Amino acid sequence: MYRILVINPGSTSTKVAVYDEAPSCPPFREVRRDGASEDETILASETLRHSAAELASFPHIADQYAFRRDAVLDFLRRQQIDPRSLSAVVGRGGLMKPVPSGTYRVSAAMLEDLRHPQEREHASNLGCLIAQEIVAPLGIPAFTVDPVVVDEFEPIARISGLPEIERRSLSHALNIKAVARRAAADLGQPYEQLNLIIVHLGGGISVTAHRLGRMVDVNQALDGTGPFAPERAGGLPVGDVLRLAYSGLYTYDQFFKKIAGQGGLVAHLGTNDATEVERRIAAGDEHALLIYQAMAYQIAKEIGGMATVLMGDVDAIVLTGGLANSQMLVDWITQRVWFIAPIRLYPGEDEMLALAQGARRVLRGEEQAREY
């Protein structure tokens, strides 16, 4: 039996879980409400909350490393789980160099890049660092699976209107790739034989084109391009962006936060909670209705753009992520894109299970671990 520890650091929390998985378990099964498949159980799981006061004492995210590592080790102690019983530890991957999709063995080069990110810090950078420290004395592997930098672009997708700026693949790749496999299984065909448009509807929105098992295009969701989202401004008129950026009203950090973190629904309505937005709409708030409809309109436009990437040969449009639970939003999107391809709905996301499954595929010899 394989026992896998999963570590997923977020901005104000660290999610941890230990999965026990039977060796006979097939690579993908229908997921139960508790997040486990028929043949796997969550031995223990917890979201370790970190208060603003605790995190304020660390000037940089990298400085939180020991604090978060100790919180994970304390979780194992409280759950009476001996680290020596683990088969592998998998950490959420962060902002490192672009890589193809897959499960990666944590390496010295990867750790160096995560310690010293080129552009900006992100809490997910700590996942592999903590995983590697836990496995070091145990002689077991540490992995990461489909980080946000998964890049399977074709050369034509990288070109922008300025040679100094290249289009990049930054997306919710972990959930997108996991859902791609689920959708393929439900369609009865290998993922590698399908053309799919997969949309992750979360705090940021990733609209992706998949050709024969490769994610060949995506809006740069991490930076807030494409459709606006609960917390992202989306594509904006460049001239107006420059005028506002150089207005003297904002520092670089303030303006970047305005685009990615405080844009979209937050900027228009003061909330990133779709349930709250729908409550306002039900109460007759015409402005909330217009903004929510506009977000669906922009998502549908982006889906249409990805259909052109696949030259109209689309087997299915797949909607996933937390906002896929919004029937109102899903209906508005469906009204605009139904003619492109059948729509399949996989609400929510389970990053923890996706991480565990990626490690399990390697442990069972179903997939070769990639080297960074």
Span 229-256, average pLDDT: 94
The answer to the question of residue 164 being in a domain is no
Neighbour order of strands in the sheet with 343-347: 214-218, 205-211, 195-201, 316-321, 343-347
CATH code: domain of residue 104: 3.30.420.40
104 shares its domain with 57: yes
Of the pLDDT bands very low, low, confident and very high (cuts 50, 70, 90), residue 33 is very low
State pLDDT tens for residues 81-138. Answer: 999 999 999 999 888 999 999 999 999 999 999 988 776 778 889 999 999 999 999 9
247 shares its domain with 361: no
The answer to the question of residue 161 being in a domain is no
One-letter amino acid for residue 288 of the chain: A
8 shares its domain with 67: yes
Domain of residue 36 covers 2-151+351-371
CA–CA gap between residue 93 and residue 282 (Å, rounded): 39
The answer to the question of residue 204 being in a domain is yes
One-letter amino acid for residue 188 of the chain: G
260 shares its domain with 202: yes
Q: What three-state secondary structure class fits 116? A: coil
State pLDDT tens for residues 307-347. Answer: 999 999 999 999 999 999 999 999 999 999 999 999 999 99
56 shares its domain with 83: yes
363 shares its domain with 243: no
Whole-structure pTM value: 0.87
237 shares its domain with 365: no
State pLDDT tens for residues 171-210. Answer: 899 999 999 999 999 999 999 999 999 999 998 899 999 9
Query: Over 50: is that where the pLDDT of 300 sits?
Result: yes
The answer to the question of residue 199 being in a domain is yes
Contact 56, 81 (CB under 8 A): no
327 shares its domain with 201: yes
Give the pLDDT score at 87.
96
CA–CA gap between residue 303 and residue 185 (Å, rounded): 22
56 shares its domain with 185: no
198 shares its domain with 243: yes
The answer to the question of residue 342 being in a domain is yes
Angstrom CA distances, 297 to 150, 226, 228, 290, 292, stand at 27, 12, 10, 10, 9
Give the number of domains in the chain. Answer: 2
